[in-house]
Protein backbone atom coordinates (compact mmCIF):
# COMPACT_ATOMS: atom_id res chain seq x y z
CA UNK A 1 0.00 0.00 0.00
CA UNK A 2 1.39 3.38 -1.03
CA UNK A 3 0.36 6.53 0.86
CA UNK A 4 1.13 9.83 -0.65
CA UNK A 5 1.62 12.70 1.74
CA UNK A 6 2.10 16.35 1.10
CA UNK A 7 5.47 17.74 1.93
CA UNK A 8 5.51 20.18 4.82
CA UNK A 9 5.40 23.69 3.43
CA UNK A 10 7.23 26.43 5.17
CA UNK A 11 5.86 29.92 5.28
CA UNK A 12 7.78 32.22 3.00
CA UNK A 13 5.87 35.38 3.88
CA UNK A 14 5.51 36.78 7.38
CA UNK A 15 2.11 36.68 8.95
CA UNK A 16 0.05 39.76 8.42
CA UNK A 17 -1.46 40.88 11.63
CA UNK A 18 -1.34 43.43 14.34
CA UNK A 19 1.55 42.80 16.64
CA UNK A 20 3.05 45.09 19.19
CA UNK A 21 6.82 45.37 19.06
CA UNK A 22 8.72 44.18 22.05
CA UNK A 23 9.93 47.08 24.10
CA UNK A 24 12.96 47.48 26.23
CA UNK A 25 12.28 47.35 29.98
CA UNK A 26 13.00 51.07 30.42
CA UNK A 27 10.91 52.22 27.45
CA UNK A 28 7.67 52.51 29.39
CA UNK A 29 9.38 54.42 32.20
CA UNK A 30 10.82 56.90 29.69
CA UNK A 31 7.41 57.44 28.11
CA UNK A 32 5.88 58.15 31.52
CA UNK A 33 8.54 60.78 32.24
CA UNK A 34 7.97 62.75 29.04
CA UNK A 35 5.84 65.83 29.66
CA UNK A 36 2.58 66.45 27.87
CA UNK A 37 2.64 68.91 24.95
CA UNK A 38 0.75 71.48 27.04
CA UNK A 39 3.30 71.22 29.84
CA UNK A 40 6.19 71.62 27.39
CA UNK A 41 4.59 74.74 25.93
CA UNK A 42 3.97 76.17 29.39
CA UNK A 43 7.57 75.45 30.44
CA UNK A 44 8.82 77.20 27.30
CA UNK A 45 7.03 80.42 28.26
CA UNK A 46 3.63 79.83 26.70
CA UNK A 47 2.47 80.38 23.15
CA UNK A 48 4.13 83.09 21.09
CA UNK A 49 1.32 85.31 19.96
CA UNK A 50 3.45 87.49 17.70
CA UNK A 51 3.23 87.79 13.94
CA UNK A 52 5.57 89.34 11.41
CA UNK A 53 3.97 92.07 9.32
CA UNK A 54 5.30 93.83 6.23
CA UNK A 55 3.99 97.28 5.38
CA UNK A 56 3.77 98.94 1.97
CA UNK A 57 6.26 101.56 3.20
CA UNK A 58 8.88 98.78 3.51
CA UNK A 59 8.85 98.44 7.27
CA UNK A 60 8.85 94.86 8.55
CA UNK A 61 7.90 94.46 12.20
CA UNK A 62 6.58 92.02 14.78
CA UNK A 63 3.40 92.79 16.64
CA UNK A 64 0.86 90.88 18.73
CA UNK A 65 -1.62 88.92 16.63
CA UNK A 66 -4.67 91.07 16.11
CA UNK A 67 -7.20 92.03 13.45
CA UNK A 68 -6.09 95.67 13.62
CA UNK A 69 -2.34 96.31 13.51
CA UNK A 70 -0.79 99.65 12.69
CA UNK A 71 2.64 100.13 11.19
CA UNK A 72 4.99 101.70 13.76
CA UNK A 73 6.77 103.64 10.99
CA UNK A 74 3.96 105.21 8.95
CA UNK A 75 0.84 104.27 10.96
CA UNK A 76 -0.80 102.46 8.05
CA UNK A 77 -3.31 99.72 8.87
CA UNK A 78 -2.26 96.16 8.09
CA UNK A 79 -4.64 93.62 6.63
CA UNK A 80 -4.71 90.32 8.45
19 within a domain of the structure (yes/no): no
Quote the pTM value: 0.42
Torsion-angle region of residue 62: left (phi > 0), alpha (psi -120 to 50) or beta? Answer: beta
74: in domain? yes
Residue 65 lies in a domain: yes
Mention every residue, 6+ apart, whose C-beta is less than 8 A from residue 57: 71, 73, 74, 76
- Whether the per-residue pLDDT at 60 is higher than 90: the answer is yes
Q: Is residue 53 part of a domain?
A: yes
**Does residue 11 fall inside a structural domain?**
no
To which H or E segment does residue 80 belong? none
CA distance 69 to 78: 5
Q: Considering its fold, how many domains does the chain have in total?
A: 1
Query: 3-51, pLDDT tens digit by residue?
Result: 777 766 666 666 666 666 665 555 555 556 777 888 887 888 777 788 8
Amino acid sequence: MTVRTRPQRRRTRPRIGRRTPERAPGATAEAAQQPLPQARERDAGGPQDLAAYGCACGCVFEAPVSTTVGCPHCGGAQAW
